[in-house]
Amino acid sequence: PKTDIVFLKVHKSASSTVMNILFRFGETHNLTFAFPLGGGYQLYYPHHFLARFVQGFSPQSPRRFNILCHHMRFLQPEVQKVVPSSAIYFSILRNPVQLMESSFVYYKGASAFSRVRSLEEFLSQPYRYYNPASGDRHYARNLMTFDFGFNPDGDVSPERVQLMLKAIEASFDFLLISEYFDESMVLLKEMLCWDLDSVVSFPLNTRDSSTKSPLPDSVVEKLKAWNRLDWEIYTHFNRTFWERIDRDIGRERMRREVKALRERQAELARTCLQGTGSVAPKDIKDSSLRPLQHGGARILGYNLKQGLDQELERTCRRLVTPELQYSSLLYKKQFAPQPP
């Protein structure tokens, strides 16, 4: 199994669920994480990543960490200073239309969104609300482009787009697609030589459907145009994702693997969870399992069954522990105060 990993955690793209998978794998195999200084949750995002943002890094004794997966704005030469040269690089993408709809609800306080009632209103005259000079502009335009380290207000000429896609391909071994999450997990398992249980998960940091609304076609087209760079990245890597599956796995085997993954997840849900799945924040009984609530979104969580044996309780709890709590836990473990 591959143990040296860089995961570029793209915002609002099921990346918290992937992070949980990496946290569990790292904890099980006693791997080290490149944590933000002081145990924060982001590597000085939205600044480009620098090695010195990592707890325990020093240029004098370059220490390498197994897994880098906290939010960052990608800058490969700096990333290479904190992970082994053999590290596998991957990320996850989401359709920019849904991505922006999610971003609008989650980052409602961002300067570009704070004065509008709806996404339609924003898109009717975006430059009235969007300021390319503001520090939080990226939440409102080409968020994936930004996270990959490029300019979200950059030129959309075919030449520039090609350069960007080539740069991403040169840095990353593969890109997952959140709309095909289960297929993505099978691909991940394949690429990292992991077993099935290492990639099972319950969806984390998802929001209640009451805040989701379908978008009219006219808005969808405007969204694609406004997020043109993201759209180019997404359509390109959605295509290569399926090419890779055809080449390395084949559709028939992929169907079988996805079925096995879903069956295992359903079995774990029956074993671990009260009720059938996620619940509203107010209904989460164990406060240590309550996810951070942000913006206008209601972020769902889980209740574990009572009376599970110790080993099973531990397995189940890790599957449903929200990102911030899990990150803190692992940080304390990795940087435990030394006894005098």
- What pLDDT does residue 200 have? 97
| Average pLDDT estimate for 165-186 | 98
Nearest-angstrom CA–CA distance, 64 and 83: 5
Q: Which of 30, 38, 29, 24 is nearest to 335 (CA)?
A: 38
pLDDT at residue 33, as a whole number: 98
Burial of 82 (0-12, 13-18, 19+ CB in 10 A): buried
Q: Give the residue from 131, 188, 156 showing the smallest Cα distance to 2.
A: 188
Q: Which amino acid is at 29?
A: H
Between the CA atoms of 218, 224, 226 and 229, what dihedral angle is there, to the nearest 10 degrees? -170
pTM for this model (two decimals) = 0.95
Distant-in-sequence, close-in-space partners of 18: CB < 8 Å, separation ≥ 6? 7, 9, 69, 92, 176, 188, 201
- Average pLDDT across the chain, whole number: 95
Residue 76, token pair as written in the block: 């490969």
- Among 76-85, 93-102, 212-221, 278-287, the range scoring the smallest mean pLDDT is 212-221
- pLDDT of 213 higher than 80: no
Report the C-alpha gap between 36 and 52 in whole angstroms.
Answer: 9
Mean pLDDT of 150-166: 97
Tell me what pLDDT residue 27 has. 98
pLDDT for 312 beyond 90? yes
pLDDT tier, 207 (very low <50, low <70, confident <90, very high otherwise) = confident
User: Residue 36: CB partners within 8 Å, gap ≥ 6?
Assistant: 42, 43, 44, 53, 54, 55, 70
Average pLDDT of the residues in 115-143: 96
pLDDT digits (tens, 9 = 90+) for 28-78: 999 999 999 999 999 999 999 999 999 999 998 778 999 999 999 999 999
pLDDT at residue 210, rounded to an integer: 72
- How many residues would you count in the chain? 340
Which distant-in-sequence residues (6+ apart) come within 8 Å of 171 by Cβ? 74, 76, 89
Name which CATH class applies to 5-94+142-334. alpha beta
pLDDT of 269 reads: 96
Quote the CA–CA distance of 97 and 83 in Å, as a whole number: 33
pLDDT of 205: 87
pLDDT digits (tens, 9 = 90+) for 248-306: 999 999 999 999 999 999 999 999 999 878 999 999 999 999 999 887 788 899 999 99
Evaluate if residue 211 carries a pLDDT over 80: no
The pLDDT of residue 173: 98
d(CA 327, CA 331): 6
What's the average model confidence in pLDDT over 98-122?
Answer: 94
Query: Would you say 265 and 201 are in contact if contact means Cβ atoms under 8 Å apart?
Result: yes
Residue 103 binned pLDDT confidence (cut-offs 50, 70, 90)? very high
Does the pLDDT of residue 214 top 90, yes or no? no
Which sign does the torsion angle of CA 166, 144, 6, 82 carry? positive
Helices (H), the chain: 15-28, 76-79, 96-106, 119-124, 126-129, 143-147, 158-171, 181-192, 196-199, 217-226, 228-248, 251-272, 310-320, 323-334
pLDDT exceeds 80 at position 88: yes
Counting residues of the chain whose pLDDT is more than 70, the rounded percentage is: 100
- The vertex-92 CA angle with 1 and 116, nearest 5°, equals 155
Token pair, residue 121, equals: 């209103």
Cα–Cα distance for residue pair 154/229, rounded to 1 Å: 8
* Model pLDDT, residue 275: 86
